[in-house]
Structure 1
């Protein structure tokens, strides 16, 4: 079915208006910043945006403007912005987790080394005590006496 030039101009104006709304972030409920939503908002058949159809140049313009916004760091679709934010947060959390795991590994290694050093020092102390007990020049101090405090009867 052919449309008149006036109808085509009216459709293009509706498409451009819908394009501007979507690129400003004004999404309809359940819509995204895509050709399907653009076609629904402009009340135009989606197939008219593809191939050699009459509004293919507007699809190209829409995609170019959308990419330009995304390149500038602006994401008009709030869901896409949320996804991007959550992905970035997920990456930060993964980095923190990796750092925490590395720190835990370092601390476990330090604990293992400290325990090994303590065990070696203990063995050295035991060896020195045994060596000191075998010589006659070293006398052992008497064990401390425990005093019992008695009660008067």
Structure 2
């Protein structure tokens, strides 16, 4: 079915208006910032945007403007912006988790070494006490007495 130049002009105006709304971030519920949503919002058949169809130049313009916004890190689709934000956050959290695991491994190794040193020192103390107890020339000092300071009564 052929359309008149006036109808084509009207369709292009609707498409451009819908394009502007989508690129401003006014995404309808259930829609995205894409050609399908553009076609639905402009009430135009989606296939009219492809190949040698009458509105293919508008699809190219829409994609160029969308890409320019994305390169400027301005994402009109809030869901896409959320996806990008969540991916970035996920990467940062994975890095923090890897750092935490490395720190835990280092602290576990330190704990193991400290316990081994303490056990070795304890064994050395026991050995030295046994050696002192067996020597007759060494006398033990009496344990210090605790002195209580009077209360003045």
What's the counterpart of residue 91 of structure 2? 91
Alpha-carbon separation, structure 1, partners of 2:44 and 2:112: 71
Normalization by structure 1: what TM-score? Answer: 0.88
What's the counterpart of residue 67 of structure 2? 67
Per-residue CA shift, 1:54-95, capped at 9, x if unaligned? 111111111111111011001100111111111122222212
Bigger mean CA offset, 65-74 vs 81-90:
81-90
Kindly state the Cα deviation for residue 132 of structure 1 after the two structures are TM-superposed. 1.7
What's the counterpart of residue 150 of structure 1? none
Alpha-carbon separation, structure 1, partners of 2:124 and 2:67: 72
Kindly state the Cα deviation for residue 110 of structure 1 after the two structures are TM-superposed. 0.8
Alpha-carbon separation, structure 2, partners of 1:137 and 1:53: 112
What's the counterpart of residue 54 of structure 1? 54
What's the counterpart of residue 106 of structure 1? 106
Normalization by structure 2: what TM-score? Answer: 0.88
Alpha-carbon separation, structure 2, partners of 1:63 and 1:144: 89
Structure 1: gaps (5+ residues): 146-153
- CA-based RMSD of the aligned residues comes to 1.6
What's the counterpart of residue 149 of structure 1? none
